[in-house]
Chain A
Amino acid sequence: MKKVYFLLAALAGLVFLANTSRVTRAKYGMVVGTPEIRSISGLAFGPDGVLLVGDSKSATVFAIDTKDATANANAQPIEIKNIDQKIATLLGTEAANISIQDIAVNPVSKNIYCAVQSADGTPVLLKISGDKIEAVSTKNVPFSSLALNNAPAEDAKDKRGNAVRVSAISDIGFADGKVLVSGLSGQEFNSTFRSIPFPFANKQEQSTLEIYHAAHGKYETLAPIRTFTTAEIKGKKYLVASYTCTPLVLFPMDELKPGTHVKGRTVAEMGSGNSPIDMVTVSKGGESFLMMSNSSRPVFKVKYKSIEAYQGALTTPVEESFATAGVDFVSLPVTNVIQMDKLDESRMVILQRRSNGSLDLWTSSERYL
């Protein structure tokens, strides 16, 4: 009897060895396991189909190898009407019981990844290819993770013993080998922005920046970044950020260094009573555009050429007319866009609440550029 067990143990050991040898070979220092994702606030893609998941609840960024890395140079336009109802049916519930938190296009395969949350808070990750919607398994997948909290080891508790710390990841992106994460605190009004080298190495390498912009040059604000993208303007790389208070601010990427206090330049104020939702950079015929979706405005289109021109004007001290000045932008005839991401150089995938109430996922054509 003992022998049998011994044999079994030896076999199990072999299996384990085989497993670990595979583990050490996983890309980007990932290990095979099941990431404990508690919420999905933001999705973005890193290199080779690595999906970055911003989890506000556990204050963690997960990098998951989707193994969905077959290049697709010719992405077909997608159109799914009533996508919330279709997803709800797949999840065995009603549309009112779910909300779509974010979408991200895998830049390699062009498949769309979609984060859904049910009313009870359960996060769900889905993949959309063509008109097919399927679950993305996060069981036994290669992944790595990085905790964002520099919070005290033990969270403050209220009288009932609930943690009172309140924070959220407002956006997540990837540029030049770095995972970019903007955050919000529910306690202090400030801007936490992190630039984290990928693959995740050690926790010391993540840097928190204190970045701010000056509205009117007079009243600085550390308002939290709501959404951001990166772009090249006159050969220099910039973080293009939009805020809860005052939109569109540029930060030179090379100035975003750990522990620094970086001042951005406001290039446009795009209206009050509105919050930016998503920003992407697309191009057509050698000209590039910043597209921005909004909570209570149509989609805005800004020519990077105009931003370049305006940047020149801002090298001098801020003028009196600054409040009404700024980069020109065009409002597209597309309203109520809830999520938006770039499909390829000139097209976007758009999640839009139509005027008839239907929530549709569709692909924009070049004619908007």
Chain B
Amino acid sequence: MVRLAYISGLTFFVCLFSCRQKTSDQPIAIQWQNEQAVALSIPAAFASDIPDDSVSLLLTLNIAGQQNPVPILGSFERREGGLLFRPMIPFTRGMRYEVRVRGTHAEDFEIPQNNAGNAPNVTVIYPSADTLPENLLKIYLHFDQPMREGMSGRYVKLVRNNRDTIDGAFLDLQPELWNPGRTVLTLWLDPGRIKRDLQPNKRLGAPMQRGTHYRVVVAQAWTDARRKQLAKPYQKAFVTVTKDSLSPQPAQWTLVSPTQATREPLKIDFKEALDHSLLAEVFAIQDNTGAKIPGRWETGPFEKHCSFIPDENWKSGSYQLLIEPRLEDLAGNNLVRPFDRDVSRSSEAVTGKIAVLPFQIK
């Protein structure tokens, strides 16, 4: 009942405005979300005499200055005091738009440039070591803002000896490999050039050779989802060493056991750098009853170490570190299969079992 009264009040209010036929004292307003102009609220005065089913025909928005205005695709919602227009994609910074009612100009508005000083950054590039195998397979770029997709081919280069940009070093993928938040991008050094005897390898050779200085260069011009450029150009320099053609060997890792009744980390030394992204996923700890121990994993310097910090104090007893066989080193060799395998000489299974390393807490 109260609502009914309220609505009739609103109708009266709308009538007042429509009678005045003036729009300027009730301005249109841009609605923001994550620094993006996602909607425009249009006062009732603009649309008071337009029936609901004709709104999208009689009230249109277009890019300002068009000779033949093209209505922007979007949807209208009735709101208290007017209408809300949501374009299919956010309005673009620096562009000017026009609201038209029954085909005639009603109002102009501009989406201001984003001058806030929060430019996106490359936070880290993995692998983090500065000495890497010549058959390195993957590079991970981490950003602190969601980035614009489909741009890596243009803005990420591999440069040899400070001079030559290596064409086609990275696999050109569509779609690119982003995490759901678009803050982590995987780049593959073209596997076809790394694998022996494939056509790209035969014709172009491997992308990198041992004993050479390389830089991964990320251009500043790359913009994030808000259209803001990177704060500065980034680069990661490294030197290449001999090819790594061997699977990681968990039996050769060193485990440093913590003491009971503490939350000291279990430390694992891999004796070589392993894939940063997989390190976050492939490990689990279980006790002698098979129960999983909750806790968190931290990757150590150069991805050669890992630590597990339990949520609760360790109890004395025997434990197992479980390792999924898909764990890879920097050259894509996993626990059961080297990346570049001669199948005519090897009969090992392609899929393997979980590897297990026991340890004791005293």
User: What is A's interface to B at a CB cutoff of 8 Å?
Assistant: 1, 38-39, 41, 56-58, 89-94, 97-99, 101, 117-122, 124, 134-135, 139, 152, 156-158, 160, 162-170, 184-189, 210, 214-223, 244-246, 261, 269, 271-273, 275, 277, 295, 323
Contacts and interface: CB of A to CB of B under 8 A. Distances in A.
Interchain residue pairs A-B with the least CB separation, the first 4 = A245-B192, A186-B186, A186-B177, A272-B200
26 contacts: A38-B180, A89-B63, A92-B72, A101-B175, A120-B90, A120-B225, A139-B75, A163-B179, A166-B179, A168-B178, A170-B175, A184-B177, A186-B277, A188-B334, A189-B191, A189-B328, A214-B343, A216-B198, A219-B341, A245-B195, A246-B192, A246-B200, A269-B199, A272-B192, A273-B203, A275-B174
Given A93-B92, A122-B89, A158-B142, A166 B149 contact: no
A307 to B, nearest CB: 18
Contact of A166 (B73, B75, B184, B204): B184
A53 to B, nearest CB: 13
Given A97-B92, A168-B176, A92 B87 contact: yes
A139 B77 CA distance: 13
B197 interface: yes
B186 A187 contact: yes
Nearest to A152: B281
A130 B353 CA distance: 56
B183 A162 contact: yes
Contacts of A169: 175
Contact of B89 (A1, A56, A58, A91): A91
B227 A167 contact: no
A56 B175 contact: yes
Contact of B88 (A124, A162, A188): A124
A168 B175 contact: yes
The binding surface of chain A is classed by DSSP as loop
Contacts of B183: 160, 162
Interface in B270-291: 275, 277-278, 280-281
A168 B200 contact: no
B304 interface: no
Contact of A217 (B70, B185, B203, B344): B344
Contacts of A273: 167-168, 200, 203-204
Contact of B225 (A121, A221, A275): A121
B97 A218 contact: no
B310 interface: no
A134 B175 CA distance: 24
Contacts of B74: 92
B197 A118 contact: no
Interface in B88-103: 88-92, 95, 97
Interface in B160-202: 167-168, 171-186, 188, 190-193, 195-200, 202
A364 B19 CA distance: 57
Tell me which of B168, B173, B225, B341 has the highest count of chain A C-beta atoms within 10 A of its own C-beta.
Answer: B173
A246 B91 contact: no
Contact of A187 (B36, B200, B278): B278
Given A91-B88, A219-B197, A245-B191, A121 B175 contact: no
A344 B177 CA distance: 33
Please indicate which of the listed interface residues B73, B203, B275 has the most CB atoms of chain A within 10 Å of its own CB.
B73
B186 A166 contact: yes
B97 A92 contact: yes
A92 B109 CA distance: 13
Given A118-B89, A165-B179, A219-B341, A188 B328 contact: yes
B275 A120 contact: no
A237 to B, nearest CB: 26
Given A189-B339, A272-B204, A119 B223 contact: yes
A158 B172 CA distance: 25
B326 interface: yes
Contact of B278 (A117, A119, A188, A223): A188
Contacts of B275: 187
A89 B334 CA distance: 49
Nearest to A94: B92
B148 interface: yes
Contacts of B344: 217-218
Contact of A135 (B70, B88, B178): B88
B1 interface: yes
Given A162-B184, A168-B173, 11 more contacts: A39-B175, A90-B70, A97-B227, A164-B179, A169-B175, A186-B277, A189-B332, A219-B341, A245-B192, A245-B195, A273-B203
B277 A164 contact: yes
B108 interface: no
B223 A121 contact: no
B108 to A, nearest CB: 14
Nearest to B332: A189
Which of B71, B177, B332: most chain A Cβ within 10 A?
B177
Contacts of B88: 91, 122, 124, 135
B152 interface: no
Contacts of A117: 149-150
B342 interface: yes
Interface string B12-43: 00000000000000000000000010000000
Interface string B262-273: 000000000000
B226 interface: yes
A101 B188 CA distance: 21
B197 A271 contact: no
A43 to B, nearest CB: 13
A277 B174 contact: yes
A136 to B, nearest CB: 10
A91 B339 contact: no
Interface in B226-266: 226-227
Contact of A323 (B61, B148, B173, B199): B199
Contacts of A135: 73, 88
B81 interface: no
A338 B344 CA distance: 39
B172 A275 contact: yes
B343 to A, nearest CB: 5
Nearest to A151: B281
B184 A219 contact: no
